[in-house]
Structure 1
Amino acid sequence: MLSVVVFVIAVLTILTTQWLWRRMHPRCENGVLPPGSMGLPLIGETLQLLIPSRSLDLHPFIKKRLSKFGPIFRTSLAGRPIVVSADPKVNHFILSQEGKLVELWYLDTFSKLFNQEGDSRTTAVGDIHKYIRSRTLNYLGVEALKEKLLPQLEEMACRTLDSWSNQESVEVKRAFGAMVFNFTAKVFLGYDSDKSSDDLSEKFNKILEGLMSLPLNIPRTAFHDCMKSKKKITGFIKSKLNEKRAGLRTSKEDFLDQAIDDMATEKFLGEDLIVQVMFGLLFASFESNSSTLTLALLKLSQHPSALEMLTSEHETILRNRKRVKSSPTWDEYKSMTFTLQVIHETLRLANVSPGLLRKALKDIQVNGYTIPAGWTILVAASAQQLNPSVFDDALEFNPSRWKDIDKAAIEQNFMPFGAGMRQCAGADYSKVLLSTFLHVLVTKYRWSVVKTGNIGRNPLLSFGDGVYIKIAKKE
């Protein structure tokens, strides 16, 4: 009997060892895998990725491996094999193959957050994607900004900054994030934060806190709290949808109104899908814009000459305006040349996310390597935007660099709003939003940074304990 037990243990040990070896040393039947390491069984190299950095530089996880293995390497994160690419030509090719060789992909935490179980329709290319993009542009695109939103954005900025000036100090990212959320939610849902008992923006902050945690949905974990917050937000969106469907609507004032009407003609639209779409759009507008403005204010405070140039540009706009108290016009926005350079430089440095994720639908041959079907691909846009061969003194905040930079280099290496058919439909909205807020800030207020935490990456852009500013109205 003892011999049988020993034999069984020996066989299990051999089989387990072989399984672990294959997991840590994968083979490719149709070519050569990119160089790299798969790390430990099951968790791969996830722990190294989650170690926070204290710099705006490329996250050490990616930087070290690019130095060791070159612009394309393989790794394993949360049990999934991944190829990371910082090669501009390869990345341009990958992003151009959506729906052919690759599809949009999320790691498990993101997938569970943005999709219902087994439902990946919002990430697919086709009628749903075209519908979401088209309708988003209707409400946040250039025409909507010109005709309706620009004066509303200025009014919101004036009201927000007036409120900030009455406070001892303001934590920028949280406060600006709440402002952006409330405005975008009004455009999409008809949400009125002044009349609502639910602080939905704070629930999005809870989601962000658990976003880069392991997807363990058990009590007292960050991810569990993240999913609880998501449930509350989606519950609110669904109740708003049902409320609108039950009432008499005489106009299509917001995106949700339009989506309800579209249910009659777009057969793929159902309540659950509409709720998913609204949640994803609100999240996208909330995080990236608040991080970008926070970093912009911090960098401007550290570079007085850039702040002086920015202020001069906006004061010139006021001097040339026939009615000083009138709202900014579209022509005035288009004349904010240096402002746009400040925004582009901040977006370049911010790199809110390490990159763009895709999943290989077929074996893909690039640079002599094979990316096997089923593997995840991380297009490391962050590495391209901090590439010293493209951007001199890449970690230096220098808005003026955008005056003379080669357009081809920008197209290949600068993609803060994504690229290809997945390029963010809210790109113009974000730039107008940030420009308008800066316009009001530098012409009507004085401000200074009074406290800042440890800024770095975890691997998302992080501001530690926050960036606090104190502002006061100009005399």
Structure 2
Amino acid sequence: MGFPLIGETIQFIIPSRSIDIPPFIDKRMKRYGPLFKTSLVGRPVVVSCDPEFNQFIFQQEGKLVELWYLDSFAKILRQDTLTFTPNGYIHKYLRNRVLNQFGADILKRKLLSEMEHVICAKLQAWSTLPTVELKSATSAMIFDYTSKQLFSYEADKSEENLAETFNNFMKGLMSIPLNLPGTAFHECLKRLIKLLSRLLEERRASSSGNCKGDFLDQIVEDMKNETFLTDDFAVSMMFGILLASIETLSGNLTVLIKLLTGHPAVVKELMEEHEAILKNRGNANSGLSWSECQSMTFTHHVVSEALRMGNIPPGILRRATNDIQVNGYTIPKGWIIMVVPAALQLNPTTYEDPLAFNPWRWKDMGSNVTGKNFITFGGGTRSCVGADFAKVLMAVFLHFFLTKYRWTKAKGGEVVRTPALGFGNGFHIQVSEKHE
């Protein structure tokens, strides 16, 4: 369990220069097996790298375990409110509202065309710059798009670069933040919360004739009938959706392009698939259709492989609400359980040569393998409601990035786990338009 108070936190956050299973986890798995205990940031934690136990835990939401965040996230996302009510009503409400705004149905009807517009505009802008730091650039792109769906934010009409503010906030959040007055983390957080609070107040004060049809409109309407929808809760909910969509999705996009940069054979087959879509399109000037998006078989294999290898967050957290019996041991009530996706998705007994970027492995991958060993989007009732949105956005990005642009690495790109996955000195690329 390490030292008093700090436990093994220092060992846990020591950076590693590999996309592989974090050394902290790997070393203890080899010594203790796929389930072991430790102490991190003052809390006792059971680390699970066991697919069977993970599945059991995901099925026990609201029974033996509840959702849990690191303390820094918990304060922002109002841990006390977002955990389970006895009947799970709040969780069901949140899932339904997010699905209404980002689910498969609205993806087909509306979001796909808007996604295309935003991605094409950003790629065009990137091509005019000497170089682009991909993680920051994709974060800004996703922030602008997601915030427009949430509260009709328009970056080109705003006096403040909110995407940059959010990016600076995330850098602080992912590096053991100190929410102290005067710190950059504190100032960015205060600015973002103030903005969302102001937007909520303005929207509520506006007449019904000014409805924008976004997520905030729906929340304001629901606040008339739902007692749990306080101002603080509504702001925290929008902030949480921004956190969930931007950090992991921009990280996964960056990992994807990094992997493609070193694998020309994968790029070649991707190009063939996307050029075939353009060739078979009746109207050359029409936008990307839903059926075309669904037809990208190899593209979806590539996205799955990048998600398998990326493992951006260090783990999925739950808290035991009752004593849990496992293998003759007891996990006491109140202990944290950390499920580690990397330990499953980079396991050589499940995935042959797991550190090799091999999208072709997904051609014959059965659900019996992926069901318990591919948990990029979590599992059980808390599986990520934005999974379809994330996968479609990555596929759409690839379509336009590959067919209209070429890129070369400029500098950086060294993978660093701290224990979240990132790039120590960024990943800078040069983007240029293709000319016939």
TM-score bracket, shorter-length normalisation = over 0.9
- Counterpart position of 1:342: 302
> Matched residues in 1 for 2:92 and 2:212: separation?
20
Q: 1:261 aligns with which of 199, 221, 236?
A: 221
Matched ranges for 1:83-232 at <5 A:
83-115=46-78, 120-125=80-85, 126-214=88-176, 216-218=178-180, 224-232=183-191
Does structure 1 residue 61 correspond to structure 2 residue 50? no
SS of match in other structure, 2:431:
strand
Does structure 1 residue 303 correspond to structure 2 residue 303? no
Q: Gaps spanning 5+ residues in structure 1: where?
A: 1-37
> Matched residues in 1 for 2:39 and 2:173: separation?
18
- Deviation at 1:128? 1.5
- Aligned residues of 1:204 and 1:283 also touching (Cα < 8 A): no
Matched ranges for 1:364-379 at <5 A:
364-379=324-339
> Matched residues in 1 for 2:179 and 2:410: separation?
38
Amino acid paired to 1:463: F
| Superposed CA offset, 1:258-294 (max 9, x none) | 1001111222111111000000001111111111111
Amino acid paired to 1:370: T
> Matched residues in 1 for 2:375 and 2:283: separation?
38
| Superposed CA offset, 1:138-181 (max 9, x none) | 01001101001111111111111111111111111101110110
- Counterpart position of 1:15: none
Matched ranges for 1:76-87 at <5 A:
76-87=39-50
- Deviation at 1:468? 1.0
Amino acid paired to 1:70: G
SS of match in other structure, 1:154:
helix
SS of match in other structure, 1:120:
helix
> Matched residues in 2 for 1:213 and 1:463: separation?
13
- Deviation at 1:215? 5.3
- Aligned residues of 2:5 and 2:42 also touching (Cα < 8 A): yes
TM-score (norm 1): 0.89
> Matched residues in 1 for 2:207 and 2:298: separation?
47
- Aligned residues of 2:181 and 2:187 also touching (Cα < 8 A): no
Amino acid paired to 1:446: R
Amino acid paired to 2:118: M
Amino acid paired to 1:241: L
- Aligned residues of 2:413 and 2:425 also touching (Cα < 8 A): yes
Amino acid paired to 1:200: L
- Deviation at 1:107? 2.0
Of structures 1 and 2, the larger Rg is shown by 1
Amino acid paired to 2:205: A
Q: 2:274 aligns with which of 314, 338, 341?
A: 314
| Superposed CA offset, 1:284-306 (max 9, x none) | 11111111111111111100000
> Matched residues in 2 for 1:233 and 1:399: separation?
39
- Aligned residues of 1:46 and 1:76 also touching (Cα < 8 A): yes
Does structure 1 residue 283 correspond to structure 2 residue 243? yes
> Matched residues in 2 for 1:413 and 1:170: separation?
34
- Counterpart position of 2:419: 459
- Aligned residues of 2:301 and 2:362 also touching (Cα < 8 A): yes
Matched ranges for 1:6-17 at <5 A:
none
- Aligned residues of 2:8 and 2:38 also touching (Cα < 8 A): yes
- Aligned residues of 1:108 and 1:215 also touching (Cα < 8 A): no
- Aligned residues of 1:353 and 1:382 also touching (Cα < 8 A): no
- Counterpart position of 1:421: 381
- Counterpart position of 2:395: 435
Amino acid paired to 1:98: E
> Matched residues in 1 for 2:286 and 2:178: separation?
52
- Deviation at 1:432? 1.0
Task: Give the share of equivalent positions with the same residue, in percent.
Answer: 49
Q: Gaps spanning 5+ residues in structure 2: where?
A: none
Does structure 1 residue 248 correspond to structure 2 residue 213? no
| Superposed CA offset, 1:333-362 (max 9, x none) | 110111111111111111011221000111
- Deviation at 1:219? 5.1
| Superposed CA offset, 1:67-111 (max 9, x none) | 111100000001100000111000100111010000011122222
RMSD (CA atoms): 1.3
> Matched residues in 2 for 1:218 and 1:321: separation?
55
